[in-house]
Amino acid sequence: ATRDPSPTDERMAIPFLLTIAAAYVCAFLRPQAAERLGEKLVFSEEFDRFDLKTWTHEMTAGGGGNWEFEWYGNNRANNSFVENGTLYLRATLSEDFLGVEPTEDQTVLQPGGSFPDQCSDQNDYGCRRQTAGQNIINPIQSARISTKNSFSFQFGRMEARAKLPKGDWLWPAIWLLPRYSQYGVWPASGEIDLLESRGNDKSDVASGVETMQSTLHWGPKFSENMFSMTHVEHAIPEGDLSQDFHTYGLYWNSSILYTYLDDPQNIVLKVDLTVDAWTKGEFETKFNDPANPWRSGSSAAPFDQEFYIIMNLACGGTGGGNGFFPDEMPGKPWKNTDQNAAFEFYAAKDQWMKTWTSPALVVDSIKVWAFEDSAYTTIRD
């Protein structure tokens, strides 16, 4: 049976409901408020549209320094586009765009098109490639975008809400490079890899799309890159990172840098920046002190300067013989020492193409909060 509530019932119910509501709100907000104390939102991208004043496309076939199999362009129809409030960076076959297979002799690839000056990186034949026998042009077309011409920051908190691609040999990344390379050429000025992953299923040899990888690259010269000291892989307990959106976070100040997955308490990589890189890498036992590129910086150097944001979807590669995809991975159609690795990869198209069930890095938002001691630069026309 039911009855109409009396005025007394209503007076008693209102304080009770308000108490419950207040307790719920406090419980929900308290952790977030504590994390954001003293922070200021300085960059927010919700991808309601593709703002090309914020995001610059890379236009190159250089392979990212790893002889990767993709080339990057500005193909807004297929490879980099915004749809329903989310950004898609998608990998496709080069033949879909060029109209010919990459194995066809004399096929030419020019990422800058008819305007060579639009090519953004000429290293490793990045502005022009041509098929000659088994030395083929890049068989995959994809996208890489950055804020290098619009936004950079030193110290702060960054969060990217994203869903990772699923497909063999796909290599998504959300990372940062220094705006001015204050301490010299890579890796002396550092690199912050917030997120990398493999689109493959997990194997006994290597992690797959269930795993987030975070890395710092640093060292006085190319042959002394100490990334192995600052590299961590973190797998989720169930499912994989292509099935839903997750939050990939970076917390960075003058004393500490750490990455996290979904919750700031769920730390992936944690690096103490109070110990200077020269000491941390034990370089004093290898070089004379004048070789220290960070001697003019703080203990956090090279991670004490402004960095800009990069997002891309790569594919395969050899990495100079020590690639991101180990040779022992099941079904891998090329070796990292192969001279014609892209040809071997493309020859197995029927095998890997059927695994590309969602070949896109899908990004819902990117946000950066500054601290009181942060520095940041925003450039707008």
Domain extents for the chain? 1-35, 40-378
Residue 16: per-residue pLDDT: 41
Flag whether pLDDT at 33 surpasses 60. no
Span 320-334, average pLDDT: 93
pLDDT digits (tens, 9 = 90+) for 102-138: 999 999 999 987 666 789 999 999 999 999 999 999 9
Flag whether pLDDT at 237 surpasses 70. yes
Span 213-224, average pLDDT: 96
- d(C-alpha 169, C-alpha 314), whole Å: 9
Which band of pLDDT confidence, cut at 50, 70 and 90, is reported for residue 232? Answer: very high
Residue 314: per-residue pLDDT: 99
Span 54-74, average pLDDT: 97
Q: What is the CATH number of domain 40-378?
A: 2.60.120.200
Q: Which two tokens stand for residue 250?
A: 């970076």
Give pTM, 2 decimals. 0.90
DSSP, res 32? H
- d(C-alpha 333, C-alpha 327), whole Å: 9
Residue 37: per-residue pLDDT: 74
Higher pLDDT, 325 or 7: 325
Which band of pLDDT confidence, cut at 50, 70 and 90, is reported for residue 287? Answer: confident
Our separate counts of H helices and E strands in the chain read: 5, 22
